[in-house]
């Protein structure tokens, strides 16, 4: 029993929980669960840069928006396009845009990098706002989810929430596994080294700029993927998908969950979405409580909620001293 | 959050771009009899417009850039201070001479609030690193906006000018110009002069400039940097509050005005360079002029123009125009 609840097995338990969850939820709650999925993907993508690369981009939502808009634009022109190809194309375009942004922004460090990415996002936002014929301006683009074609079974409709939930789950989990695998390769270690001490990494012969750019491109790809899932989920894309808020939501989710671990942002996005939904149904001024939550988090749970699952956190807790007989 | 922002958009903000634009149209219509003359005067008028907005932007950006330069804290709540100033002007507008009371009390109230925030909250987050401080200022930004919306409502509310400053004045070549905007320009120039003297001619100014370069070293030399930082933070908040008070009569008071000015300020401090007051001044004026002339020539793409300027500056000189360090 002890091994089963070990730290290694937590992701598997969470995955199994996510597999059976939709059968117990209503349609609206399923929508919420899907929302958690793509936000989790986006927050992990953000955390690749913050937690592993040591960079804080304020404009990460711009890449989310590129993915979301690409998906919407393609689906408006070709309503029966292959859905897998659509999300792949959206992610690839976001990746290309991310490569351009990263090429300029990664020359700066610290706050300059953050603000420069924010400037690029504002540029993309103004493009989405003004380029009416393509993006629809403030009206946005409404779309329908196309069917998913599976080789043996045939076309499966994604219109029911539960089907789309499982589709998102597969896409998100595959991408998360891919990101996790990348971080376990020697390249992942290089990225960690650069975060710790970039100068030393450069002395050791690593091309730090290229390594950071590759990380940025990977994060752009996943952000674009999350964006296209968001469009498919809402069946609508508007300026909200590329707004500054998107970046800040990712920052908040990451901080709530904890930037130090891979699954921290996933926890953060679940907490954020559920908390927001619960609060907005309960009180009118939920933003006030949200703000208060962040201030509280920074003061008292500064490493994120994921630390609550760690033994070290509780061993520091004074109550433990009185409970355990030894020591 | 998304829904609230969307709601604000739907209300239709009275923003500076729109106001300038209608004003320009209005003017060109009025002087059709003398086309060449009106062409020239439109440029002149737009230039004063740009200067007015640029100077106002400078008042907000100066505090932000100094705080950022000294402590590496990007204070997102700064936009909320500006917004609070405008709402203070709104609540004083009903009484007689209310504007002047607001002009006096607004900076004091907002400054005290800034002081309280720095002393009780921001200082405790400082040892956690600047990402945490950022999150905290963002939380405070939320709280302040939400409280404002709670007290005053979310719709844009016009604030009347003080009676002495309403109406227009005749400028060069028979052109008339709203007196209130000239007053804004005058206040901003006074503030700028005060800042020049403080930064260049006083001991505190020397300490601030030194702390922007290397806060740790200044601290080691026996200067109380935390107290200095508190002072700069308070002064910056008060300046933002003052800018909010004087902005209220010509931009109206609305909850998203904080985030609007914050975005412009971020562009200003990136172009100007972190911690550089002169950079902030030059960049703010550039941005103000760019906006007002952009509206005249290519109204649809003013925002694109702004980011074009930003990109050019950063590619040519990555530390910003007057920045000395990264």
Interface of A with B in 45-84 (CB under 8 A): 50, 56
Query: What was the pLDDT predicted at A41?
Result: 95
Instruction: Specify whether the CB–CB gap between B103 and B245 falls below 8 A.
Output: yes
**Half-sphere exposure for A151 (CA within 13 Å, toward CB):** 0
Q: Which residues pair with A141 in a beta bridge?
A: A237
In chain A, which residue's Cα lies nearest the Cα of B143? A288
Average pLDDT value for residue range A228-247: 90
Instruction: Spell out which residues of chain A touch residue B146, defining contact as CB-CB under 8 Å.
Output: 285, 287-288, 291
Decide if A294 and B314 are in contact by the 8 Å CB cutoff. no
pLDDT digits (tens, 9 = 90+) for B9-52: 333 333 444 444 444 444 444 444 444 555 667 777 888 888 99
Kindly state the helix (H) or strand (E) to which residue A149 belongs, with its residue range. Answer: strand A148-150
Distance in angstroms between the alpha carbons of the first and the last residue of chain A: 26
Decide if A295 and B318 are in contact by the 8 Å CB cutoff. no
Q: Between B257-272 and B35-71, two packed helices, what is the crossing angle to 10 degrees?
A: 80
pLDDT digits (tens, 9 = 90+) for A310-322: 766 666 655 545 5
B301: pLDDT strictly greater than 60: yes
Average pLDDT value for residue range A135-141: 85
Kindly state the helix (H) or strand (E) to which residue B90 belongs, with its residue range. Answer: helix B78-92
Query: What was the pLDDT predicted at B277?
Result: 86
In chain A, which residue's Cα lies nearest the Cα of B136? A295
In chain A, which residue's Cα lies nearest the Cα of B274? A112
B172: pLDDT strictly greater than 80: no
Average pLDDT value for residue range A293-300: 82
pLDDT digits (tens, 9 = 90+) for A198-226: 889 889 888 989 999 999 999 999 999 99
DSSP single-letter state for residue A155: E
Kindly state the helix (H) or strand (E) to which residue A134 belongs, with its residue range. Answer: helix A132-135
Decide if A248 and B138 are in contact by the 8 Å CB cutoff. yes
Average pLDDT, chain B: 80
Greatest alpha-carbon pair distance for chain B in Å reads 68
In chain A, which residue's Cα lies nearest the Cα of B146? A288
Query: What was the pLDDT predicted at A182?
Result: 93
Name which of A31-40, A76-85, A179-188 the model is least confident about.
Answer: A76-85
User: Which of A268, A291, A293, A300 to probe by mutation at the B interface, max B CB count within 10 Å?
Assistant: A291
pLDDT digits (tens, 9 = 90+) for B241-258: 999 999 988 888 888 888
Instruction: Spell out which residues of chain B touch residue A299, defining contact as CB-CB under 8 Å.
Output: 121, 124-125, 136
B103: helix, strand or coil: helix
B318: pLDDT strictly greater than 50: yes
In chain B, which residue's Cα lies nearest the Cα of A56? B131
Query: What was the pLDDT predicted at A326?
Result: 47
Instruction: Spell out which residues of chain B touch residue A276, defining contact as CB-CB under 8 Å.
Output: 1
Instruction: Spell out which residues of chain A touch residue B311, defining contact as CB-CB under 8 Å.
Output: 104, 119, 123
Distances (CA, A) of A298 to A111, A276, A292, B71: 19, 18, 10, 17
Decide if B263 and A244 are in contact by the 8 Å CB cutoff. yes
DSSP single-letter state for residue B161: P
Instruction: Spell out which residues of chain B touch residue A129, defining contact as CB-CB under 8 Å.
Output: 303
Instruction: Specify whether the CB–CB gap between A117 and A49 falls below 8 A.
Output: no
**What is the pTM for the complete model shown?**
0.80
Decide if B274 and A112 are in contact by the 8 Å CB cutoff. yes
Of the candidates A104, A119, A240, the beta carbon closest to that of B267 is on A119
Query: What was the pLDDT predicted at A279?
Result: 83
A119 in B contact zone (CB under 8 Å) = yes
Query: What was the pLDDT predicted at B10?
Result: 38
Q: Which of B60, B66, B67 is nearest to B118 (CA)?
A: B67
User: What is the Cα A275 distance to its own chain's centre?
Assistant: 17
What the block records as the tokens of B272 is: 């100007």
Decide if A292 and B318 are in contact by the 8 Å CB cutoff. no
Bigger pLDDT: A109 vs B34: A109
**Angstroms from B107 CA to nearest CA on chain A:** 24
Instruction: Spell out which residues of chain B touch residue A293, defining contact as CB-CB under 8 Å.
Output: 139
Instruction: Specify whether the CB–CB gap between B320 and B271 falls below 8 A.
Output: yes
Average pLDDT value for residue range B59-78: 86
Of the candidates A111, A138, A240, the beta carbon closest to that of B274 is on A111
Q: Which of A299, A272, A280 is nearest to A43 (CA)?
A: A272
Task: Quote the Cα angle for B184-B54-B310, to 5°.
Answer: 165
In chain A, which residue's Cα lies nearest the Cα of B12? A138
A56: helix, strand or coil: coil
Of the candidates B6, B143, B304, the beta carbon closest to that of A126 is on B304
A300 in B contact zone (CB under 8 Å) = no
Percentage of chain B beyond pLDDT 70 is 85
Instruction: Spell out which residues of chain B touch residue A295, defining contact as CB-CB under 8 Å.
Output: 121, 136, 139-140, 143
**Angstroms from A84 CA to nearest CA on chain B:** 28
* Helices and strands (DSSP H and E) totals, chain A: 15, 4
Percentage of chain B beyond pLDDT 90 is 22
Q: Which of B305, B247, B224, B236 is nearest to B54 (CA)?
A: B247
E strands along B149-223, which residues?
168-170, 176-178
Of the candidates A119, A251, A299, the beta carbon closest to that of B124 is on A299
A280: helix, strand or coil: helix
pLDDT digits (tens, 9 = 90+) for B80-89: 999 999 999 9
Long-range contacts of B17-20 (CB under 8 A, 24+ apart): B17/B291, B17/B295, B17/B299, B17/B302, B19/B250, B19/B251, B20/B46, B20/B49, B20/B53, B20/B291, B20/B292, B20/B295
B129: pLDDT strictly greater than 80: no
In chain A, which residue's Cα lies nearest the Cα of B4? A287
Instruction: Specify whether the CB–CB gap between B83 and B145 falls below 8 A.
Output: yes
Q: Which residues pair with B157 in a beta bridge?
A: B253
Average pLDDT, chain A: 85
Q: Which of A252, A285, A65, A241 is nearest to B76 (CA)?
A: A252
Integer Cα distance of B260 and A115 in angstroms: 15
Integer Cα distance of B290 and B269 in angstroms: 16
Query: What was the pLDDT predicted at A245?
Result: 83
Instruction: Specify whether the CB–CB gap between A240 and B2 falls below 8 A.
Output: yes
B157: helix, strand or coil: strand
A323: pLDDT strictly greater than 60: no
Of the candidates B6, B68, B135, the beta carbon closest to that of A111 is on B68
Percentage of chain A beyond pLDDT 90 is 35
If one counts every other C-beta atom within 10 angstroms of the C-beta of residue B114, the result is 28
Decide if A252 and B1 are in contact by the 8 Å CB cutoff. no
Bigger pLDDT: A305 vs B244: B244
Query: What was the pLDDT predicted at B11?
Result: 39
Instruction: Spell out which residues of chain B touch residue A243, defining contact as CB-CB under 8 Å.
Output: 2, 5
A104 in B contact zone (CB under 8 Å) = yes
Name which of A13-22, A69-78, B241-250 the model is least confident about.
Answer: A13-22
- Complex ipTM value: 0.74
Bigger pLDDT: A259 vs A192: A192
In chain A, which residue's Cα lies nearest the Cα of B142? A291
Integer Cα distance of B51 and B186 in angstroms: 11
Integer Cα distance of A271 and A266 in angstroms: 9
E strands along B48-93, which residues?
none
Distance in angstroms between the alpha carbons of the first and the last residue of chain B: 33
Query: What was the pLDDT predicted at B28?
Result: 42
Q: Which residues pair with A148 in a beta bridge?
A: A156
Q: Which of B154, B147, B121 is nearest to B230 (CA)?
A: B121
Q: Which of A182, A183, A173 is nearest to A14 (CA)?
A: A173
Q: Which of A2, A14, A75 is nearest to A267 (CA)?
A: A14
If one counts every other C-beta atom within 10 angstroms of the C-beta of residue A21, the result is 15
A5: pLDDT strictly greater than 60: no
**Angstroms from A4 CA to nearest CA on chain B:** 35
Query: What was the pLDDT predicted at A35?
Result: 92
């Amino acid at each position: 029993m002890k091994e089963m609840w070990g730290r290694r097995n937590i992701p598997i338990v969470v995955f199994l929980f996510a597999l059976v969850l939709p059968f117990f939820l209503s349609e609206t709650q399923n929508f919420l669960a899907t929302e958690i999925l793509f936000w989790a993907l986006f927050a992990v993508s953000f955390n690749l840069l913050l937690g592993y690369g040591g960079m804080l981009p304020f404009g990460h939502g711009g890449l989310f928006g590129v993915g979301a808009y690409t998906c919407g634009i393609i689906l408006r022109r070709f309503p029966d396009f292959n859905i897998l190809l659509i999300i792949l194309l959206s992610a690839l375009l976001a990746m290309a845009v991310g490569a351009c942004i990263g090429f300029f922004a990664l020359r700066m460090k610290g706050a300059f990098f953050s603000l420069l990415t924010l400037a690029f996002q504002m540029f993309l936002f103004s493009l989405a706002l003004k380029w009416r014929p393509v993006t629809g301006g403030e009206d946005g683009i409404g779309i329908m989810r196309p069917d998913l074609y599976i080789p043996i079974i045939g076309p499966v409709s994604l219109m029911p929430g539960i089907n789309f939930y499982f589709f998102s789950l597969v896409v998100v989990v595959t991408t998360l596994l891919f990101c996790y695998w990348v971080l376990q390769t020697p390249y992942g270690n290089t990225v960690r080294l650069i975060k710790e001490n970039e100068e030393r990494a450069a002395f050791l012969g690593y091309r730090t700029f290229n390594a950071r750019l590759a990380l940025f491109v990977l994060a752009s790809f996943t952000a674009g993927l999350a964006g296209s899932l968001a469009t498919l989920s809402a069946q609508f894309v508007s300026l909200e998908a590329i707004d500054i808020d998107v970046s800040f939501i990712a920052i908040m989710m990451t901080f709530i969950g904890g930037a130090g671990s891979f699954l921290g942002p996933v926890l953060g996005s679940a907490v954020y979405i559920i908390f927001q939904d619960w609060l907005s149904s309960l009180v009118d001024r939920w933003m006030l409580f949200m703000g208060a939550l962040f201030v509280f988090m920074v003061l008292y749970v500064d490493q994120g909620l994921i630390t609550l699952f760690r033994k070290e956190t509780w061993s520091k807790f004074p109550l433990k001293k009185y409970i355990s007989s030894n020591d | 959050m998304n829904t609230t922002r969307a709601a604000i958009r739907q209300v239709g903000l009275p923003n500076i771009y729109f106001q300038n634009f209608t004003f320009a149209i209005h003017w060109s219509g009025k002087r059709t009899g003398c086309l060449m003359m009106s062409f020239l005067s439109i440029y002149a008028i737009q230039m004063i417009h740009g200067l007015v907005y640029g100077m106002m932007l400078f008042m907000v950006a100066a505090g932000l850039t100094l705080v950022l330069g000294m402590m590496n804290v990007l204070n997102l709540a700064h936009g909320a201070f500006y917004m609070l100033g405008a709402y203070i002007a709104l609540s004083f507008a009903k009484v007689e001479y209310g504007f002047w009371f607001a002009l006096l009390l607004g900076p004091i109230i907002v400054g005290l609030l800034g002081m309280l925030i720095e002393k009780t909250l921001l200082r405790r987050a400082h040892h956690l690193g600047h990402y945490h401080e950022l999150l905290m200022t963002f939380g405070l930004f939320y709280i302040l906006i939400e409280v404002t919306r709670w007290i005053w409502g979310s719709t844009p509310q016009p604030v009347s000018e003080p009676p002495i400053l309403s109406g227009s004045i005749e400028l060069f070549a028979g052109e008339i110009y709203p007196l209130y905007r000239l007053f804004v320009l005058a206040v901003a120039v006074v503030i700028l002069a005060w800042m020049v003297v403080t930064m260049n001619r006083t001991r505190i100014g020397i300490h601030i400039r030194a702390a922007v370069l290397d806060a740790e070293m200044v601290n080691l030399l026996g200067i109380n940097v935390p107290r200095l930082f508190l002072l700069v933070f308070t002064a910056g908040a008060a300046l933002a509050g003052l800018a909010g008070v004087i902005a209220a009569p010509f931009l109206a008071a609305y909850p998203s005005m904080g985030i609007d000015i914050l975005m412009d300020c971020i562009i200003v401090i990136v172009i100007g360079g972190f911690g550089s007051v002169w950079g902030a001044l030059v960049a703010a004026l550039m941005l103000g002029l760019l906006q007002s002339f952009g509206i005249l020539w290519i109204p649809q793409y003013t925002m694109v123009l702004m980011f074009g300027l930003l990109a050019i500056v950063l590619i040519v000189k990555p530390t910003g125009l007057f920045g000395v360090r990264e």
